[in-house]
Amino acid sequence: MIDRLVAKLYRGECSEEELETLFNLLKESDSTPSDSLMRKIWQESERFKTSDQTTKDRVFSKLQAKLEMPAKSATMETVKPIRTKHFPMNWKLSAAAAIAVILTALFLWPSELPSKVVQTQFGEQRSIQFEDGSHLRLNANSKITYLSDESWQQGKPRTVWLEGEAYFEVEKKPMTNQTFEVRTDHALVEVLGTAFNVHTSSKGMRVYLDHGSIRLHLSAIDTVILMHPGDLVTYEESDRTFSIKKQVAKALHTSWKDGVLTFNNSQLSEVIEKIEQIYGVRFRVANRANYNRKIAFPMPIDSLETAISILNRTLSDLEIAREGDVFTIQ
């Protein structure tokens, strides 16, 4: 049975149900499937890719029932998408996770289709203009991966994968209702036509909507949020919680694309975290109470020296000393 299904898998003839059957048989088998077979299963799953959340929930619920696993634990296992070509050797100890991850990872990271990668260094920004008129501005120390224009077939989502921060201006596709998707470690952002900012890191993510409307899927906590202009959604990976703020001034979340990031009544901890992210340096604050100090600070994002000079003048009663790539505030 396994041999027949594997043969159909490599011929691209497996149905969705047969793919599930193959997973179950491999799970019950005494032998460990090869990396190449697991990768092939992942690639074949691409044929069932859909942006229909109902379909995804249906497939996932069937898997939960077959494995007799609680919904909460299954959801927790799908938080970290596969980003390497190697699968766990002791895969049967996490068979439920393997099945869930492989069937859901295709919704999070690009398959082996022709793709382009743009990556910025510390203190660098890049602009990308797509063939359909959509545009994005990539902030420093960030990476965007997207399929080549010819891979964005009519009617299918236009998808990009983001690490770091970017500001998006998306053109509507009224003839096809084609959506634009931004995928990160933590979430899926779906949009028809709008402008918004996404910042993602290992700690979590922030999404700010400038205008239009977007639907934000937080994968780790199985939550969908419909955002409106001026909304800021913040997700914290440490405790898997999120917050929504309304009518937030956009300067703090979008002004970076114009060369200066404007902080207004912001905590010093937030300011130095942003400097560390953009310029790749580190800060030490002698008196930890100063982390909560509120300041107004226009931070240039193309010159570290200028940023530190302005910060030094802003913190008039403190002194900033530099040793290599480490700045000490005392």
**247 and 122 share a domain?**
yes
320: confidence class by pLDDT, cuts 50, 70, 90:
very high
Residue 110 CB coordination number (10 Å): 18
Domain span including residue 237: 115-251
Please list the residues that pair with 85 across neighbouring strands. none
Helix (H, G, I), strand (E, B) or coil at 47: helix
**123 and 209 share a domain?**
yes
d(CA 172, CA 194): 8
Mean pLDDT of 316-322: 91
**129 and 235 share a domain?**
yes
**247 and 263 share a domain?**
no
61: confidence class by pLDDT, cuts 50, 70, 90:
very low
Residue 273, domain member (yes or no)? yes
**163 and 224 share a domain?**
yes
**74 and 189 share a domain?**
no
**121 and 232 share a domain?**
yes
- Decide which of 214, 235, 251 is a domain's last residue: 251
Is residue 111 within 8 Å of residue 146, measured between CB atoms?
Answer: no
Per the structure, the count of domains in the chain is 3
Average pLDDT, the chain: 76
**125 and 237 share a domain?**
yes
Q: Give residue-wise pLDDT tens across range 255-302.
A: 888 888 888 888 999 899 989 988 999 999 999 999 999 998 888 888
Give the CATH number of the domain where residue 283 resides. Answer: 3.55.50.30
Estimate the crossing angle of helix 304-314 against helix 268-279, to 10 degrees: 170
Q: Give residue-wise pLDDT tens across range 135-159.
A: 999 999 999 998 766 656 666 778 8
Write down the pLDDT at residue 5.
Answer: 78
Residue 144 CB coordination number (10 Å): 21
Q: What share of the chain is helix, strand, coil (3-state, %, to 5)?
A: 35, 30, 35
What is the full DSSP assignment across 52-80? -HHHHHHHHHHHHHHHT--HHHHHHHTSS
Residue 110, domain member (yes or no)? no
Write down the pLDDT at residue 153.
Answer: 64
**66 and 100 share a domain?**
yes
- Whether the predicted pLDDT of 112 surpasses 60: no
Q: Give residue-wise pLDDT tens across range 179-211.
A: 888 999 888 898 877 999 999 988 899 999 999
**130 and 82 share a domain?**
no
